[in-house]
Amino acid sequence: MADSTEHPILTIDPRTHVADFPFIHYQDDTLFIDNASTKTLAQTYGTPLYVYSKNALLANYRAYVESFAPLSDVKICYAVKSNSNLAVLATLAHAGAGFDIVSSGELARVLKAGGQADKVVYSGVGKTKSDIATALNAGVGCFNVEAVSEIELISQVASELGKTAPIALRINPDVDAKTHPYISTGLKDNKFGISHDNALDAYRFASSLPNLDIIGIDCHIGSQLTDTQPFVDALDKVIEMIDELFAQGISLRHVDLGGGLGVRYTDETPASVSEYANALLPKLLDLQEKYGLGLHLEPGRNISANAGVLLTNVDVLKPTEHKNFAIVDASMCELMRPALYGSVMAVIPADLTATTTPQVWDIVGSVCESSDFLAKNRTLALNVGDTLAITGAGAYGFVMASNYNTRPRPAEIMCDDGSHRVVRERESLDDLWRGESV
């Protein structure tokens, strides 16, 4: 389970665990990431340390390109919020990816990394007038619109600038993604999108306003979905709306199905990208033939999560009569997911030569919060000084990191077939109070 509040004793066989992860393996009992030794990485750059595999990122991206190749017009727009490091974005931009953004800051990152503005979709609730103007001046490919008032605001800003804004309306289909409530976005109780019942009126309203080009329909129901059926159910609801729109003379050029396909953190069995594509392609090919619609997808976690690990060092072992605590140099500041969602992520040794007897440990940080844990009830053979690797940390890891307790954020490293380089320097204390004054 990826997101749960319960933590039964979990024993993970490290070699078996990494067998299905691209570009992560053990060699002579040492964990390697994209052919770079984690022992060398920890010694060279220190811990805690985020490490990414360039080739895993590319393989995960290309899986989408290849799986949806039967369609003639597909844009794979990587969700920047999952991992916004410039080197990650540049790697994907060079491979041809578009980008899904939710802020002007993310747009600036994409452009800084060499991404093309016309391959950017601007999603997210609460776009301001300034955000919209910035995106229009940059020439973004599409705004995914979340509310009727946003339609008016985009029209107003576009008119003031003398530009035409390409828009797609995000429809909330009220489909249960059966995922953690914090990452479910397609139910009527969620803040996202325009309700399915009100969508047709919203499209009519948009078509009455100046300086708008209605080019698509958007739907995103949640994250970390391991089954394809909710995607199919959502697409069926979207197709109903598409048929109504074309019948009323409102023509579209693409359908955007968002992202959300899950990954394996510990013992999940998520659908593969090819299985996901095969479940959707028959309906998408019909839409292509009937209306000439292209496809936008916005995968994030599925591309970046298992392309990254967080390395952390065991600083203190604190066995007690009730619980054994392994205190490491990472914390909820460096990796928020376990504290925020109760997420269960794998923790494996960077070195398999330990001679101590395995025990059940809680892996915790030194932050002064009881919620500061990275893993609970893990069977591990530990010594002070050991390096551990938390897998699946390439998504929603560094991007959610904080400076709580005045902790500098860790460095980020990119590995590429044995080579490795710093793609974000470790913060210094001076970095933390830059801009403050006494």
Is residue 251 domain-shared with residue 187, that is, in the same domain? yes
Q: Is 141 annotated as a binding residue?
A: no
Is residue 243 domain-shared with residue 178, that is, in the same domain? yes
Q: What mean pLDDT comes out for the span 69-93?
A: 98
pLDDT interval class at 183 (50, 70, 90): very low
**Could you tell me if residue 330 is inside a domain?**
yes
Q: What mean pLDDT comes out for the span 107-119?
A: 98
Examine the fold and report which residue of 277, 297, 317 is the final residue of a domain before the chain moves on.
297
3-state secondary structure of 56: helix
Q: Do residues 64 and 426 touch, judged by C-beta distance below 8 A?
A: no
Which range is least confidently modeled, 56-70, 153-167, 175-189, 419-433?
Answer: 175-189
**Could you tell me if residue 106 is inside a domain?**
no
Is residue 324 domain-shared with residue 289, that is, in the same domain? no
CA distance 28 to 380: 19
Which range is least confidently modeled, 136-140, 173-177, 239-243, 352-356?
Answer: 173-177
Catalytic residue of the set 142, 219, 333, 368: 368
Q: Is 52 annotated as a binding residue?
A: no
Give the CATH number of the domain where residue 261 resides.
3.20.20.10
Is residue 147 domain-shared with residue 280, that is, in the same domain? yes
pLDDT interval class at 7 (50, 70, 90): confident
Q: Is 409 annotated as a binding residue?
A: no
pLDDT of residue 146: 94
**Could you tell me if residue 86 is inside a domain?**
no
Q: Is 300 annotated as a binding residue?
A: yes
Q: What mean pLDDT comes out for the span 9-23?
A: 95
Is residue 311 domain-shared with residue 286, that is, in the same domain? no
The continuous run of DSSP H or E covering 310 comes out as strand 308-319
Indicate the pairing of strand 294-297 with strand 74-79.
parallel
pLDDT tens for 20-74 read 898 999 999 999 999 999 999 999 999 999 999 999 999 999 999 999 999 999 9
Q: Which two tokens stand for residue 137?
A: 């001046």
For the chain, the average pLDDT equals: 94
Which range is least confidently modeled, 78-92, 186-200, 241-255, 340-354?
Answer: 186-200
Q: Is 396 annotated as a binding residue?
A: yes
415 carries an active-site annotation: no
pLDDT of residue 184: 44
Count of domains forming the chain: 2
The residue that leads in pLDDT, 69 or 182, is: 69
Amino acid at 412: E
pLDDT at 257 over 60: yes
pLDDT of residue 223: 87
Is residue 31 domain-shared with residue 154, that is, in the same domain? no
pLDDT tens for 292-310 read 999 999 999 999 999 999 9
DSSP characters for 166-194?
EEEEEEE------S-GGGB-SSTTSSSSE
Which range is least confidently modeled, 31-35, 231-235, 385-389?
Answer: 231-235
DSSP tag of 219:
-
pLDDT of residue 192: 62
Is residue 211 domain-shared with residue 263, that is, in the same domain? yes
Is residue 385 domain-shared with residue 424, that is, in the same domain? yes
**Could you tell me if residue 95 is inside a domain?**
no
Q: What is the residue range of 346's domain? A: 14-53+305-432
Is residue 178 domain-shared with residue 240, that is, in the same domain? yes
**Could you tell me if residue 77 is inside a domain?**
no
DSSP lists the bridge partners of residue 20 as none
Examine the fold and report which residue of 247, 272, 297 is the final residue of a domain before the chain moves on.
297
Contacts of 245 (CB under 8 A, 6+ apart): 200, 203, 217, 251, 252
**Could you tell me if residue 398 is inside a domain?**
yes
Can you list the positions of beta strands (E) in 324-406? 324-328, 347-349, 359-364, 373-380, 387-391
pLDDT interval class at 4 (50, 70, 90): very low
Examine the fold and report which residue of 297, 324, 343 is the final residue of a domain before the chain moves on.
297
**Could you tell me if residue 7 is inside a domain?**
no
Is residue 346 domain-shared with residue 390, that is, in the same domain? yes
**Could you tell me if residue 109 is inside a domain?**
no
Give the CATH number of the domain where residue 372 resides.
2.40.37.10
pLDDT of residue 182: 41
Indicate the pairing of strand 165-172 with strand 212-218.
parallel
Q: Which of 169, 167, 172 has its CA nearest to residue 185?
A: 172
pLDDT of residue 122: 98
pLDDT of residue 2: 41
Is residue 271 domain-shared with residue 130, that is, in the same domain? yes
Is residue 248 domain-shared with residue 154, that is, in the same domain? yes
pLDDT interval class at 178 (50, 70, 90): low
